[in-house]
Structure 1
């Protein structure tokens, strides 16, 4: 779905769909127009997807456990458990070595954007609201973490307009990044522990943990016992 799904504005979304139609790709256009855009288009999505619009995570997971595809269900579950246990431990140790506020990958993105000083002019309405004279011009509200290009709202990460506006304000750049990208959140994600299971084939068993009592049987009345006894003799 390419550019259509990532387009942040409703106007831009429909312009690209019309362009697709003009290029003669009517079949693709008909396919898209019958789909509810709030499920696949940034411009209509009501929540925050943090820039993720693909299923690579699921595909990576399937590839990650491909060696266990031919195993029994219990062996597959144990393989997944072991790999998750190792992955969580590795990432937990890694995150404990970080000393910044933002995760390293996004810290680099912020620095690159901060150092990439564009030739845009910025006009202040006040300390919160600024106009960036880009093409087209946009309005940035730092207090509300919004930009009229809509990229800041969609990704939760300051767009280039926001970064240059923050540079001209009293705000701290790191404080304008959603908590999703903070190291603290990353650490919380992997704070849980998956413990080993002694054996997949035979779990530990202590016979003293269970007491099996004989079943309760009611004794028949004496008269019934004598009748059953006589019947047994005649037979």
Structure 2
């Protein structure tokens, strides 16, 4: 019985610990961005210096030529032809070249979900601890039971789809 009570408390307890440790780790971070997006951004910066050449006219839409001869259109309203920036929210090598061409910082173009302030808002709420089951107020209602689940043993049978010439219509072929 004590083992069942301990298991019942375990998920909420680990959630309390996880929220607290993540908040403490992020308090130690000095940058405005989270650590993982910074690593991706630095990797993309090193690639952009060696592999991309910007061709722009001073507008927010810039053409970037890659080493293989491929050209990508980068719009500084957070879209790129390779779609990495659209999907991840972190500027790719083409975007970084375009942002540097416009004399701005690539860190300003990282999506807001990767900011330290956003992370701290997410983990600012806590799960309140609950007293043990021995301190709960007893009720007269029936306890909630687990749903019944009938597991079928063995491998499920696979039905073969019959071809059109095998199907019967009104008992005749």
Please tell me whether residue 172 in structure 1 is matched to residue 105 in structure 2.
Answer: yes
User: Structure 1 residue aligned with 2:46, among 111, 115, 125?
Assistant: 115
Structure 1 position 82, deviation (Å) = 0.1
- Gap regions ≥5 residues in structure 2: 138-173
Give the root-mean-square deviation of aligned CA atoms.
Answer: 1.9
Equivalent position to 2:25, from 83, 86, 94:
94
Q: Deviations over 1:123-172 (max 9, x none)?
A: 01224121111242110011x11111112111111111101211211322
Provide the C-alpha distance between the structure 1 equivalents of 2:104 and 2:75, rounded to a whole number of angstroms.
Answer: 12
Q: Is the 8 A contact 1:127 1:170 kept in 2?
A: no
Q: CA deviation at 1:198?
A: 2.7
Question: What secondary structure sits across from 1:118 in the alignment?
Answer: helix
Alignment pair present for 1:106 and 2:37: yes
Structure 1 length as normaliser, TM-score?
0.52
Q: What displacement does 1:203 show?
A: 2.3
Q: 1:161 to 1:77 in 2, by over 3 A?
A: farther
Partners of 2:59 and 2:31 lie apart in 1 by: 26
| Unmatched 5+ stretches in structure 1 | 1-70, 206-235
8 Å contact 1:125–1:131 — kept in the other structure? Answer: no
Cα pair distance change 1:174/1:77, threshold 3 Å = farther
Given candidates 156, 160, 165, the residue that maps to 2:93 is: 160
CA distance in 2, matches of 1:192, 1:91: 12
Is 1:183 the counterpart of 2:120? The answer is no
1:124 matched to 2:56: yes
